[in-house]
A and B are shown apart, each in its own frame.
Chain A
Amino acid sequence: MSYSETVSFKRRLAWLAVAAAALILVVAWRLFTVQVLSHQRYLSQAANAHSRKTTVAASRGEIFIRDGDKKTPLALNQTLKTLYADPSQVKDKAAAAKALAGVTGQPEAGYVKALQKPGDYTVLGRSLNREVAERVMALKLTGIGLSNQPQRVYPEGTLAAQVLGFVNADGQGQYGLEGYLNQELVGTPGLLRAKTDTRGNPIATADNFIKPAVNGTGYVLTLDRNIQAQAEKYLKEGVERVRAKSGSVVIVDPSNGAVKAMANFPTYDPNAYSQVRDYGLFSNAVVSDQFEPGSGFKIFTMAAGLATGKVKPDTTFEDTGSVEVDGRTIRNAANHRYGRQNMTDVIQKSLNTGVVFILKSLGGDPANINLTGKRVLHEYITKRFGFGLATGIEQAGEVAGAVNRPTNANGNNVNYANITFGQGVSVSMIQMATATAAIANGGKLYQPHLIDEVITPDGTSKPVTPKLVNGNVVTPEVARQLTDMMVQVVEKGSGYQTRIPGYKVAGKTGTAQIPRADGKGYEDKKNIGSFVGFAPAENPRFVMMVRINEPQTSGFAESTTVPVFGDIARWLLHYYKVEPQ
């Protein structure tokens, strides 16, 4: 190497070294700007990208129904999978469709069509069970995914459908228990705030924040699966027999207000609520339908009369077949006139004139209706028997009914005369059953309830204590007198079809007219038949109300509701193993 060559080399090498040093300085300056000057910006970008707040779903409380001494599930949860695709990510659509069809058993053509849709999200299938989902996962197809789809499942199908309600696609309970107790059932979702990897798995660091989910409260119902099933079966038969529009049954334990069965027909399957077109099917008519009760209401008028001492079972009055109130004529059904009748006859023969007589007696003036009488009747109906007030049963959409105040313009004498035999007043079936239970048990009004036990999220269950609303609605003596009158209805009167050999059954029929939609009077051919009663009369095990709406066959409650009551009562007495007298 020549000297000049070496000198040139070294000079050029020095230049290279300077260039390299310059490059290092540029990179170092850039490092400084990124790591020091823009540190905060990148730090917040990092925090935004890494920190994720995820809610941890709480599982919805389960609902059980009594099955004799045991309990059995009525509403459960299941995590199904929704199969979705990002069509833009699926390269070989035909192959993907074929593979999916091979696993799910669905037609391949459907998948091909769905995968050819534009956009980045399309649902390929819903409600895949775990097994199928795992097989789809095993295919490892790009652009195809599964997401959790929490599903409420009702293993008993249509059983107690309206009592239960359903859970909609947003996870919100609708109608019935699911609607009424939605807040308690959904629980509190948990919260997880953590730094996660790109797939959302939390990275174990010290500053993660976890609030566990609190699962929803579970419930054991007072309903008995067997009673409910039988009630539904006989109700269906009864409604179909008279080609009625619909019907309902409610059975209450008079000793504590526990509802043992609550059935409506026609019904639906809450598992397939989305296929129901007539939304009327969703509501539980027993609590959410108010109607004019008709003659069944006479027992409460009688209760007021007996309790105030204004009439006694052997008090008599002259039945002329009709009675004038403020220029209006009130007649007995079928325009019968019976002459001198006592109070037992009034109930047994269902005399409208008789209950108007009681209203007059309540005011102390046997000739006229006055404010005092109306006030007494109003007090008994509302404050004591609970009409005009929601019972507070654990059901969404409960109606309060309506009883006009005696001081109100609508609560005129004619209206009150009508109220005595169940017109111009609206009630719900649960109110009727509850009030009747207070007669059956000797004067104690219990709040009707559907929940027997509350299962807290930690798994312990607490029994619910029945709530005594009024321990002395009427005296036991008055209750016994009323019971005797109602037994006469079954023994000799309109309820004869429910006579069960060996047992005393108490009850009262009612056939109410349906007010016309235009408010002018009542519908001609349509009526509502009802029967409310209990058995055995001397030591009642159950109170039951049956209601059949708009039967196509002519006739009164005797021929529509009474046979249903009879069928169920006969079965129930055997089920309860009540010995005949």
Chain B
Amino acid sequence: MSSATYAVRRNQNLYRRSAQLELGPVSVSFVMIAIISVLALLYLTQITKTSVYGYRLSELADKQAKLTAANQEMQVEAARLRSIQQIKSAPAVAQLVPETQVHYVR
């Protein structure tokens, strides 16, 4: 074990800390990285908006397709219920009497 003897006292005076706050290269680097990261995040906020919109768009398209399908289904059902065949078999219609004599009032 000899490495402990390498303790050195040279240049002590050169490295006295000054009282005022000083931004060394290390701090500057950390701050730069932080700023770049924040800027990147801000940029991404804009970029990813479109991808979010893309998904919302397809979500809405899905919804629209579903509603269209539901609408179609109801239209078809309504048309079926109003169809001649349906009307003919309706109980109320079965009780109607066919017209035999028509009088036109002049």
Contacts and interface: CB of A to CB of B under 8 A. Distances in A.
A76 B104 contact: no
A468 B42 CA distance: 71
Interface in B35-94: 50-51, 53-55, 57-58, 65-66, 68-70, 72-73, 75-76, 79-80, 82-85
A433 B79 CA distance: 31
A574 B102 contact: yes
Interface in A73-88: 73, 76-79
Interface string A420-464: 000000000000000000000000000000000000000000000
Given A76-B76, A203-B54, A130 B66 contact: yes
Contacts, number: 67
Nearest to B83: A156
A483 to B, nearest CB: 23
A34 to B, nearest CB: 25
Q: Contact residue range for chain B?
A: 20 to 34
Given A155-B83, A159-B85, A580-B104, A204 B72 contact: no
The prevalent SS among residues of B at the interface is: helix
A236 interface: no
B53 A130 contact: no
B72 A159 contact: no
Given A204-B54, A574-B102, A580-B104, A72 B82 contact: yes
Nearest to B72: A78
Q: Contact residue range for chain A?
A: 20 to 34
A204 B99 contact: no
Contacts of B53: 204
A186 interface: no
Interface string A345-362: 000000000000000000
A579 interface: yes
Contacts of B72: 76-79
B85 A130 contact: no
Contacts of B18: none
A6 B2 CA distance: 10
Most buried by B among A159, A204, A225, A579: A204
B99 A3 contact: no
19 contacts: A1-B1, A73-B79, A77-B72, A78-B69, A79-B65, A129-B73, A153-B79, A155-B82, A156-B84, A158-B85, A159-B83, A159-B84, A201-B54, A201-B58, A202-B58, A229-B84, A577-B104, A579-B104, A580-B104
Q: Which 10 A-B pairs have the closest CB atoms?
A: A204-B54, A155-B79, A201-B58, A155-B80, A73-B79, A229-B84, A156-B83, A204-B50, A579-B104, A79-B69
Interface of A: 1, 3, 6, 72-73, 76-79, 129-130, 153, 155-159, 201-205, 225-226, 229, 574, 577, 579-580
Given A72-B79, A204-B57, 14 more contacts: A3-B2, A73-B79, A76-B72, A77-B72, A78-B73, A79-B72, A129-B73, A155-B79, A155-B80, A155-B83, A156-B84, A204-B51, A204-B53, A574-B99
